[in-house]
Every structure is written in structure tokens, then in C-alpha cells.
Amino acid sequence: MKSLRAILILILMTVFATASASADDAAPVEIRTPEELIAIADNPEGNYVLMNDLDLTGYDWPSFTFKGTFDGNGHTIINIHWTKVSDETQVTYDGNRKTYDTHFAGFFAILDHATVKNVRLPGVDLFVENYEGDCFLGGIAGYATESTIENCEVSGTIRLDVTGKMFGVGGIIGYGNGVIKNCKAEVTLVNIDLDAKNRDEEFLGGVCAAGYPDIDGCEIQISGFLSDHGYVHSGGLVGMYIVYPKAFKRDGYIKNNKLTGFITFFEDNTNRRAYCKESYGEVMDWYFTTAGDSNKYSFKRDERKKYDVNLLPHGECKNPDFEETKVEATCQDPGYTLHTCKTCGYTEKDNYVLSAHHFPETYETITESTLTTQGVGEYTCSECGAKIRKALPTLTPVPTATPVPTTEPTEAPSKATTDTINESKSGSGVWPYLLIFFIGIPLGVIAALLYRRHRIKKLKRLRKARRAQAARAARLHKESDD
């Protein structure tokens, strides 16, 4: 009996193991709409693939923790709009390994053993205003642990105005670790410390504000603006390289990266540190290799000593005067409005529209539409030659009117009209039955009634004749008797 139970348990375990294995191998969930994208928040451990470009205008992007795989499939997401940071917190460590329960925001607020790849986020506009608390922002993720970010692109502005003790802004991630590989960021990063009285820890980096990510083959263009009444840790790639928790050691790498740009900052602090370097501002643990000179830098460290005016992009232009240029979307890239200051040359982009092919009105019919089924037409992009097939609408029935005689030569009927006409002909098959029903039956009834009347009259005449005949016979009989 016991052995039977053991065998049963073994069978059940095998079934469950097979089931869970096939769930892992299952095809990714395909995403085609903003609603489907936002619904990832409800099932954050899933495996997803983006099937087309998405415009999130009008949607509020949720800040959530993602634990699955998201494959952007080379597609673009534009106009992501955030209003809040994550409810969930993660522990962050400052240079003294003091810990903070910290909130996050990014395309994914938190990545936990997750993979994000092949997604393009142009024109990111993530601005968290007047935040009270500890907070990090990043283009792909506010926080990442044991996660991989690969072949992703971010451009736009990420800004945090905050009253807290521990905060920062990064181009790809805010705080954390994992692998960041072959990513591109062209970002304006702004971090303003709103509390001038208390010293805090502020971080900023083109790839990561603080943490120990492995970074390989990334191309970063940074415009950094950092205003702090505390301790500044900033770098073109990483603000502070720190391995945590305490006593944890590992060998990492930062290699093959290309950095251009600048960080303009002030550190309002008599106990000055003012970390700002092209590569990594402060290094807590040198448990990583830079693989020789494989990183390429073109960077400007721009420290200011005036502490009463926060540093902002275009903040120093004396006479701002913008002109707008509309940059049309191409087959590959989104379009946008370019704002250029005529005084100083500073530029900003907004009003993004998705990349689009240029399809003419005409198409080649692959399958013709009928009254009940949609046909298929193939359009060819006039710019790149790409072909796409679209469903054609079903034909609309044309009401059949009595043809008006005309002396004008009539055009040959279009294909659609011919089809419609054919359809109407076959549709007219019910008319004979209707005619029989509405005219034939009443006529039959009338005929029957007339025939009945005629028979009754004939009978009456016959009876009358017989009665007359009988009377005559009786009369004759009486006469012969007399």
C-alpha cells in the first residue's frame, strides 16, 4: 500500500514538473496594444514580446515590479507618462553602507531577476516633482537586481526634485546590479535637492546612479544637472560603484563603452567630496575591471560654486527664443517637434509620433471583398518599398433603382458594382414566391368563391326545372284520369 502511494506521488510530481517546464518554454505573450502592455503589471512574472510600436498618449503608466522577460522585438514605445513612484521599496546603501527603504520609478520601477531587451524608448519624459522621501529614477528601471538589460535605447529627460536623504537619477537604471549590455542612452538627467538645510547623499550617472552593474558595449550621451546640499556622487557611466551588502565580493566589468557629454553640478557642503568623473564618481570597492582602455570618453566636469540657483538645462540662457521645426517620422524612426533656441542653440524634442511607412491610396488586390467577407489588399511603401497587406471592407449593397433611360454613354460598371449587381440578381429569387403568396392565393380564393356561386345558381335552376316538370306530369296524369 505504501509503495503504491509512493508511486502515485512520483507520478503526480512528474506530471507537475512537466507542466511547469512547459510553462517556462511556452511561447511569449504577444503585446499589440497599450492596454495589453499596461496589463503586464497584473502578471509581472510572464514572458512578453512586443509585436508593434506603441503610442501611450493618454495612458497613465503604472510603477510596478517586473520579474519576467520583456522582449521589445526592436519596437518603439513613445509618450510614456508617469505620475508616481513605486509603492514597493527596496533597500539601498550609501557609501557608509547605511541602508534606506527607497522608492523607484522607470519604465519598470523595479526589475527583480528580470530580462528586458530590444526595446526603444525615445522621448522619455519622466519628471517626479517635490518628492518627499528616498527615491531613484532610471530610464529602463528605477532599481534592478540580478537582471539583464540588453539592446535597449532611451532618450529624453529624467528629472527628480526631492526632499530626502538618499536619491539619484540614472540613464538606464537608478540603483542596482545585473548586466547592462549594448544599450544606448541620449539623456538629460536632472536632480535637484529641495532641502538646503540637511545633508544628503545624491547620485547621478549616464548608465547607473549607484550600484555594481556590469556594463558592456553601451553608447551614452549625457547632459547632467545636479544641485545638492550634501554629498555628490556623479559619473559619466556610474555615480558611485558600490558592491553591497557589506562583505559581499564579486568580480565585475565595465568595458567597451563610449561616453560623451557633461555634468554640471554644485555641492553645497563644507565637508567637500564633489565626486564627478568621466567614468565612475566614487568607487567603494574595486571589484571590477575596465578591461584595459576599452572605454572611450569625451566628457566635461563642470562644477559650480553658486548654491542659490538650481542647475537646469537651458537655465543660463539670457534671452530664450525658440523656433519649432517639425521632423517627420520616417519608415524607421519616430517623428517629433524640435525646439531650437535661436539665442544659444539649445534644443529640445517633444510631440513624438510613431515611425510610419508612406503608403499610397492605391493597392493591389490579393483577394476581392464580397458583401459578406473582407478582401485583402497589398500596399507598397513609396519610401522603402515595404509591402503590407490590409483587410479591405466588405462591399455595401447598392439599392436597385429602375434604370433611367439616358442618351449619355454609360461607363462600364466597376468591379464592386458588378459584384453588387450579381448579388442583387440572386437575391431577387424570392420575388416569384412573394408574388404567389400575395396575389396568387387571394385570386384563387376569389375564383373558388365565384365558382361556388355559379354552382349554387345552377343547382337552383335545376331544382326549379325538376319541380316544374313534376307539376306538369301531375297535371297530365290528372287530365288522363278525368
Options 381, 392, 416, 423; binder of Zn ion; rule CB under 5 A: 381
Round to the nearest angstrom and report the end-to-end CA distance of the chain. 129
User: Where do we find the cell 566628457?
Assistant: 299
Q: Which is nearer to Zn ion, 319 or 402 (CB)?
A: 319
Q: Which is nearer to Zn ion, 30 or 316 (CB)?
A: 316
21 touches Zn ion (CB under 5 A) = no
Please report, as residue ranges, which positions from 88 to 127 form the binding site for Zn ion (by CB under 5 A). Answer: none
Stretch of 39-47, 68-76, 199-207, 338-346 lying at the interface with Zn ion (CB under 5 A) = 338-346
CB of 359 to Zn ion, least distance (A): 8
Query: CB–CB of 111/147 below 8 Å?
Result: yes
User: Where do we find the cell 547605511?
Assistant: 98
What is the Cα–Cα distance from 227 to 312, expressed in whole angstroms? 9
How many chain residues bind Zn ion (CB under 5 A)?
Answer: 12
Partners of residue 201 on adjacent β-strands:
166, 231
What is the Cα–Cα distance from 78 to 384, expressed in whole angstroms? 22
Q: Which is nearer to Zn ion, 179 or 344 (CB)?
A: 344
Q: Which residues contact 272 (CB under 8 A, 6 or more apart)?
A: none
Stretch of 41-49, 216-224, 304-312, 345-353 lying at the interface with Zn ion (CB under 5 A) = 345-353
Q: Which is nearer to Zn ion, 64 or 346 (CB)?
A: 346
What is the Cα–Cα distance from 209 to 187, expressed in whole angstroms? 13
Q: Which is nearer to Zn ion, 384 or 439 (CB)?
A: 384
Q: Which is nearer to Zn ion, 274 or 327 (CB)?
A: 327
CB of 189 to Zn ion, least distance (A): 20
Task: Tell me what percent of the chain is helix, strand and coil, each rounded to the nearest 5.
Answer: 20, 40, 40
312 touches Zn ion (CB under 5 A) = no
What is the Cα–Cα distance from 63 to 80, expressed in whole angstroms? 11
Q: Which is nearer to Zn ion, 287 or 346 (CB)?
A: 346
What is the Cα–Cα distance from 138 to 87, expressed in whole angstroms? 16
CB atoms within 10 A of CB 223: 18
Stretch of 45-53, 281-289, 354-362, 472-480 lying at the interface with Zn ion (CB under 5 A) = 354-362
Options 38, 39, 49, 341; binder of Zn ion; rule CB under 5 A: 341
384 touches Zn ion (CB under 5 A) = yes
Options 386, 436, 448, 468; binder of Zn ion; rule CB under 5 A: 386
> Residue 83 has which C-alpha cell?
505620475
Stretch of 56-64, 317-325, 401-409, 434-442 lying at the interface with Zn ion (CB under 5 A) = 317-325
Compose the 146-175 pattern: x for residues touching Zn ion by CB under 5 A, - for all others. Answer: ------------------------------
Please report, as residue ranges, which positions from 357 to 376 form the binding site for Zn ion (by CB under 5 A). Answer: 357
Strands 69-71 and 77-78, by their bridges, are: unpaired
Q: Which is nearer to Zn ion, 320 or 442 (CB)?
A: 320
388 touches Zn ion (CB under 5 A) = no
> Residue 24 has which C-alpha cell?
517556462
Query: CB–CB of 133/86 below 8 Å?
Result: no
Give buried/exposed letters for 126-158 (b at 16+ CB in 10 A, else e): bebeebebbbbbbbbbbbbbebbbbbbbbbbbb
343 touches Zn ion (CB under 5 A) = yes
383 touches Zn ion (CB under 5 A) = yes
> How far, in Å, are 408, 409, 412, 424 from residue 405 at the CA level?
9, 11, 16, 20
Options 11, 21, 317, 474; binder of Zn ion; rule CB under 5 A: 317
Element (H, E) at 61: none
CB of 357 to Zn ion, least distance (A): 3
CB of 333 to Zn ion, least distance (A): 11
Q: Residue 369 carries which side chain, given as an amino acid letter?
A: S
CB of 358 to Zn ion, least distance (A): 6
Strands 29-31 and 387-392, by their bridges, are: unpaired
The site for Zn ion (CB under 5 A) is made up of: 317, 320, 331, 341, 343-344, 346, 357, 381, 383-384, 386
